[in-house]
Amino acid sequence: MSDYLFTSTKQPERRLSNLIKGIYFNSAPVCTEYHGAWGSLAVSQSHYNGFMPYENERHICIVIGAPVLYFLDNTFLTQPDSNKGTQAIYSRWTQQSMNWADDLSGPFTALLIDTKVHNISIITDLMAFVPVYSSIIGKSLFLGTHVDALAKAAEQENELDETSLADFILNDVITFPYTAYANLRQELPGSITTFSATNNKTINTYWQPTEEHAFRNIKDAALSLRHGIKRYTDTVTENMHTIAQFISAGEDSRALSGLLPQDEPRDAYIFLDSMNREGKIAQKVAKAYGVNFIVGYRDPLHYLHIMPEASALVGLGHQYSHAHSLGFDKEFDLPRYDAVFGGYLADSLLKGAYAPKLRGSERFPFLPDITVNKSPVAARFGQLGRYIKNDLRNTIIERQQNHLNWVKKTRPNSANEWFVLYPASMRIAIPNFYSTRRLFKSYEPFLSHEVVKIAAQIPTQWKLNRKLFHKAMKPFLEQSQWILHADGRLPYYPWWLNMPLQASIWFTRQISRRVFRRKGNEGPWGDWNTVFTSKESKTQFDKFANAGLLDEIFQGTPTCTTLVNANTIKYQQKANLMQSLQNIKNRDS
Looking at residue 37, its pLDDT comes to 96
Looking at residue 517, its pLDDT comes to 63
Residues 219, 233: contact at Cβ < 8 Å? Answer: no
Q: Read off the pLDDT of each residue in 498-504 and give the average, rounded to a whole number.
A: 92
- CB neighbour list of residue 229: distance below 8 Å, 6 or more residues apart: 259, 445, 446, 448, 450, 451, 472
Looking at residue 234, its pLDDT comes to 96
Q: Read off the pLDDT of each residue in 261-275 and give the average, rounded to a whole number.
A: 94
Looking at residue 362, its pLDDT comes to 74
3-state secondary structure 272-318: ECCCCHHHHHHHHHHHHHCCEEEEEECCCCHHHHCHHHHHHHHCCCC
pTM over 0.85: yes
Q: Which residues in 475-514 are b (16+ Cβ under 10 Å) and which e?
A: ebbebbeebbbbbbbbbbeebeebeeebbebbeeeeeeee
Give the pLDDT band of residue 547 (cuts 50, 70, 90): low
Distance, CA of 500 to CA of 91 (rounded, Å): 57
The H-or-E segment that residue 87 falls in is: helix 84-94
Looking at residue 588, its pLDDT comes to 58
Q: Read off the pLDDT of each residue in 20-35 and give the average, rounded to a whole number.
A: 94
Looking at residue 518, its pLDDT comes to 62
- Taking only the tens place, the pLDDT of each residue in 350-363 is 999 999 888 777 77
Give the pLDDT band of residue 26 (cuts 50, 70, 90): confident
Looking at residue 555, its pLDDT comes to 83
Looking at residue 100, its pLDDT comes to 97
The H-or-E segment that residue 245 falls in is: strand 243-246
Statement: residue 587 has pLDDT above 70: no
Query: Which burial class, exposed, middle or buried, applies to 407 when counting CB atoms under 10 A from its CB (0-12, 13-18, 19+)?
Result: buried
Bond before 300 cis per omega within 30 degrees: no
Give the pLDDT band of residue 429 (cuts 50, 70, 90): very high
Looking at residue 1, its pLDDT comes to 65
Looking at residue 338, its pLDDT comes to 97
Q: What are phi and psi for residue 507, nearest 5 degrees?
A: -65, -40
Statement: residue 507 has pLDDT above 90: no
- The average confidence (pLDDT) of the chain is 93
Domains of the chain (ranges; CATH) run 4-205 (3.60.20.10), 218-353+424-511 (3.40.50.620), 528-588 (no CATH)
Statement: residue 107 has pLDDT above 80: yes
Q: Read off the pLDDT of each residue in 548-575 and give the average, rounded to a whole number.
A: 81
Share of the chain above pLDDT 90, in %: 79
Residue 469's alpha-carbon distances to 61, 210, 218, 226, 485, in angstroms, are 38, 21, 10, 9, 15
Q: Are strands 133-137 and 140-144 parallel, antiparallel or unpaired?
A: antiparallel
Give the pLDDT band of residue 551 (cuts 50, 70, 90): confident
- Taking only the tens place, the pLDDT of each residue in 280-306 is 999 999 999 999 999 999 999 999 999
Residues 296, 331: contact at Cβ < 8 Å? Answer: yes
